[in-house]
């Protein structure tokens, strides 16, 4: 690395959106600092495995794994509370899904900004996209615009961190298309909310992912219990 090389923190879940954001950041010339959090989600071991594999694949500068179990103790999400059922996919719903973890992105972005400022990073990447914010309020463009103001006001005067959500106006299909173009290793990513192997194929996360590959006429490289057709 040269002194002039840009640095970026990437919030990496182990899923395909954040993996694509990471490769996009690297493609733009950033040296990568990965932040992965485990918050008691059903598939946290698989997600950590995938995030670690991606870090090795991309030869990142640093990989930081943080336990954020307070989100599970707070509860109110099917991802962290066994008493709440993970719903079957409903791709046409405008309701906030049971998988929403209350204000999760604000928690994760706060840690990521600390990590970025400590390492004198220039940017912070998150892989949120348009089909996220149709149901998740903390994935809306307005949320990221507001959080950029928090970063600007709440860090040192010499700190200049740009919050980048490169796919915020994109569909999952557009992300997959870009990822295939960038040779993102989707075989080492995971999206399923329910299971660590194979993916269930019927939760919202699986459905959006399968639909994206189906619309591109490509086959998702991970294993599924079943592969329903979601593309029109």
pLDDT digits (tens, 9 = 90+) for 198-208: 999 999 999 99
* Count helices and strands in the chain by DSSP H and E runs: 8, 5
Q: What is the model's pLDDT at position 1?
A: 46
Q: Give percent above pLDDT 70 in the chain.
A: 97
Domains and CATH numbers, the chain: 6-172 (3.40.50.620)
What the block records as the tokens of 134 is: 């149709």
Q: Nearest to residue 123, comparing CAs of 24, 14, 6?
A: 6
Residue 92 pLDDT grade (very low, low, confident, very high; cuts 50, 70, 90): confident
Whole-prediction pTM: 0.96
Q: Which residues of 28-54 are buried (b: 16+ CB within 10 A; e: fewer)?
A: eebbbbbbbbbbbbbbbebbbbbbbbb
| Whether residue 19 has pLDDT greater than 60 | yes
Residue 130 pLDDT grade (very low, low, confident, very high; cuts 50, 70, 90): confident
Compute the average pLDDT of residues 142-171: 97
Decide: helix, strand or coil at residue 62. strand
Asked if the bond preceding 198 is cis, omega within 30° of 0, the reply is yes
Decide: helix, strand or coil at residue 37. strand
What the block records as the tokens of 151 is: 């970063």
Residue 132 pLDDT grade (very low, low, confident, very high; cuts 50, 70, 90): low
Distance in angstroms (rounded) separating the CA atoms of residues 43 and 142:
29
| Whether residue 3 has pLDDT greater than 50 | yes
Beta strands 162-164 and 30-38 are unpaired
Helix (H) or strand (E) holding 210: helix 204-215
Residue 150 pLDDT grade (very low, low, confident, very high; cuts 50, 70, 90): very high
pLDDT digits (tens, 9 = 90+) for 35-64: 999 999 999 999 999 999 999 999 999 999
């Amino acid at each position: 690395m040269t002194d002039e090389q840009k640095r970026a923190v990437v919030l990496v879940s182990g899923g395909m959106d954040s993996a694509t954001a990471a490769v996009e950041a690297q493609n733009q010339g950033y040296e990568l600092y990965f932040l992965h959090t485990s918050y008691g989600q059903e598939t946290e071991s698989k997600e950590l495995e995938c995030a670690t594999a991606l870090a090795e694949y991309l030869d990142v500068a640093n990989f930081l794994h943080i336990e954020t179990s307070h989100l599970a103790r707070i509860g109110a999400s099917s991802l962290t509370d066994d008493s709440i059922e993970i719903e079957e996919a409903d791709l046409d719903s405008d309701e906030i899904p049971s998988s929403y973890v209350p204000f999760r992105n604000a928690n994760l972005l706060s840690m990521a900004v600390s990590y970025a400022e400590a390492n004198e990073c220039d940017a912070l990447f998150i892989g949120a996209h348009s089909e996220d914010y149709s149901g998740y309020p903390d994935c809306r463009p307005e949320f990221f615009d507001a959080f950029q103001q928090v970063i600007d006001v709440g860090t040192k005067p010499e700190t200049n961190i740009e919050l980048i959500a490169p796919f915020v106006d994109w569909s999952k299909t557009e992300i997959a298309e870009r990822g295939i173009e960038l040779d993102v290793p989707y075989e080492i990513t995971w999206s399923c909310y329910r299971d660590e192997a194979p993916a269930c194929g019927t939760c919202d996360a699986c459905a959006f992912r399968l639909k994206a590959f189906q619309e591109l006429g490509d086959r998702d490289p991970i294993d599924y219990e079943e592969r329903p057709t979601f593309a029109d």
